Chain A
Amino acid sequence: MSEVKKPVLEVKHLGITFGGLKAVDDFCLEIGESELVGLIGPNGAGKTTVFNLLTGVYQPTEGTYYLNGLKMNGKRTHQVVRSGIARTFQNIRLFKKMTVLENVIVAMNMHMSYSLFASVFRSKKFWREEAEIEKRARELLEIVHLEDKADYIAENLPYGQQRRLEIARALATGMKLLLLDEPAAGMNPTETAELLDIIHVIRKKFQISVLLIEHDMSLVMKVCERIQVIDYGITIAHGTAEEIANHPEVIRAYLGKEESEDLYADN
């Protein structure tokens, strides 16, 4: 992977202040095409805040970020999604009372164009678009291995499948950059392995870039091409998995002392 990739996401000195608290400060990041970057840090380091900044939930107080060279500051969440950044949530947020299939189709709403009148009169366009979207939604469900659960109510799915459904819903937006917020949290090793497969498949199939927040170090070390570590909103290290594992600052942030204890002993 020596060739230089054109960055999909370019974050320049992004920062946000809540009152007197600098939640994220001088955050810089570049993600190339179909690259997988990990974002790690201790609890409360500001990882999810970075996600909220990148998806327009919060507006940054400093800095700018670009998606494919397009400035994204000031865009609202749904506009950011339309430009091509989709996310999943740390605590799963599905449309609980709707079916699995509907959950995916909702995220394709922006690719549908039939009007109110077309829906009232059930025009040809209505049926054509509905059929097309349903077919595409089923294809996406197949990728996350939920094709036989299409008519289940989302909240009745087991935890690991709900996580996968969230990924399918994010995929349905047709994004270029996927932000995954602790996708393996609460999963057992089998489910985690399955999740890794899915991430691998979607990167290959859709040529998308992924920014991953994860606490499961073995997962991060295994899949991420590059890792960025933040603590108290400040980037303390970035580099490959090996570089990060032996970085003194990282060890200090996680363990609070500079002794040569092995940080990843239990993994």
Chain B
Amino acid sequence: MNPLNIKMPKEKKVSYVINIFGVLAIFLLLVLVFESNFLGGRTTYIKGICTTACYTIIMVASLNLLTGFMGEFSLGHAGFMSVGAYSSAIVTNALIGSGIPNFFLFLIALIIGGFAAALTGIAVGIPALRLRGDYLAIVTVAFAEIIRVAFCNFEVTGNGKTMSGIARLSNFYWVFWVMVVCVTIMYMFVRSRFGRTVKAIREDYIAAAASGINVTFYKVLTFTISAFFAGVGGAIYAHYMTAMIPTNFNFMYSAEFLTQVIIGGSGSLTGSIIGATFLSALPEAMRQFSQYRMLAYSIVLVLVMIFRPGGIFGTYEFSLTRILKKLLAKIKQHKSDDKEKHS
């Protein structure tokens, strides 16, 4: 009776299907490359870079929720990552050998890592999000430093020494799908009333409050979600590296994530994916320049900022559906042009 009783618009359904196929295609391509031994002895090395790229994508995309969509700088994202990494490592160390299959153990690790970081996010967010801009950035730096120093002194986290012997539960294929799920959830969040509200707060928080939005609530919510995914990224890190030291998660690591967000385009999740992949692979691809590679890395960053000040993607989202549509339209036009010529 109600014409608005729509389940899902058809074009959305088509677009989802197209994207699922796109992701599958990328996955199958990577599987083919790795399994066919096409790269020979370098397979493990390249696989390693891809795994790093996957958890970096999660980290960068989650930071983009704060920086790009909420418009607040956080320089302590590695802090949340270390909370996720250590909490999940402690839990899996306790659970290993209890007969739980590796896959479920890995899932448990991800969930523990995510929730531990999310709880920390709430605890930090409620007082810190009263601040804005530079002041908030400083508080997040302070938070990450506190976490680092605390983990250097706790016994469960290795007393400042390397925590090693964490079970290697992750492999590239699992990590790839975890990344896909995480990015999808973030994308759905951004393209919903929640994401809209967060963007409105970025644009003008006074007007947002005057439109009936509980600004503090949505800020803390976004901060928590961002921290959750940082924790998931940390859990992958721990179970991929199998050894870690709190000083890995230092200020420079946080700054690196922020760089990747900005290079990819703050406000674009697909930009984050490109930025994270690009900047994870870049230092490795430049190994041939040996000691000059960090110099080359910096030059690339400067060039991107000169030619694309808004990042590679800006706030634009890459859309497979849109490209396919354009292609189809072009083919159609081509055909009709041909017909005109013939007639």
**Residues of A bordering B, CB below 8 Å:** 55, 57, 76-78, 81-82, 86-87, 89, 93-98, 102, 105-107, 109-110, 112, 114, 116, 119-122, 124, 126-128, 130-132, 135, 169, 172-173
Q: Which residues of B contact A94 (CB under 8 A)?
A: 203-204, 207
Quick check: A78 and B193 within 8 Å, CB to CB?
no
A-B contact pairs, 25 of them (CB 8 A): A55-B210, A78-B209, A81-B211, A86-B210, A89-B207, A93-B204, A93-B210, A95-B199, A95-B203, A95-B204, A97-B199, A97-B203, A98-B199, A106-B196, A109-B212, A109-B213, A114-B193, A119-B188, A119-B193, A119-B194, A120-B188, A124-B8, A127-B8, A131-B4, A132-B4
Q: Cα distance A94–B213 when bound, in Å?
A: 14
Q: Cα distance A114–B203 when bound, in Å?
A: 23
Quick check: B192 and A119 within 8 Å, CB to CB?
yes
Nearest chain B CB to A244 CB, angstrom units? 29
Q: Which residues of A contact B196 (CB under 8 A)?
A: 98, 102, 105-106, 109
Q: Which listed residue (A57, A76, A127, A169) contacts B6, Cβ 8 A?
A: A127
Using known A-B contacts A116-B194, A132-B4, determine if residue A93 contacts B206 with beta carbons closer than 8 Å.
yes
Q: Which listed residue (A95, A120, A172) contacts B200, Cβ 8 A?
A: A95
Q: Cα distance A172–B211 when bound, in Å?
A: 8
Quick check: B192 and A96 within 8 Å, CB to CB?
no
Nearest chain A CB to B179 CB, angstrom units? 16
Q: Which listed residue (B7, B210, B215) contacts A124, Cβ 8 A?
A: B7
Q: How many A-B residue pairs have CB under 8 A?
A: 100
Q: Which among A82, A105, A106, A128 has the highest number of chain B CB atoms within 10 Å?
A: A106
Q: Which residues of B contact A95 (CB under 8 A)?
A: 199-200, 203-204, 207-208
Q: Which among B4, B199, B315 has the highest number of chain A CB atoms within 10 Å?
A: B4
**Residues of B bordering A, CB below 8 Å:** 4-9, 185, 188-189, 192-194, 196-197, 199-200, 203-204, 206-215, 315
- 19 further A-B contacts with Cβ under 8 Å, apart from A93-B210, A127-B7, A131-B6, are A57-B206, A76-B209, A86-B210, A89-B210, A93-B204, A94-B204, A96-B204, A97-B199, A102-B196, A106-B196, A106-B200, A106-B208, A109-B196, A110-B213, A114-B192, A120-B185, A124-B8, A127-B8, A173-B212
Q: Which residues of B contact A128 (CB under 8 A)?
A: 4-6
Q: Cα distance A134–B56 when bound, in Å?
A: 36
Quick check: A77 and B189 within 8 Å, CB to CB?
no
Q: Which residues of B contact A86 (CB under 8 A)?
A: 210-212
Quick check: B8 and A122 within 8 Å, CB to CB?
yes
Q: Cα distance A266–B9 when bound, in Å?
A: 57
Quick check: B4 and A135 within 8 Å, CB to CB?
yes
Look across to chain A and name the residue whose beta carbon is closest to the beta carbon of B214.
Answer: A78
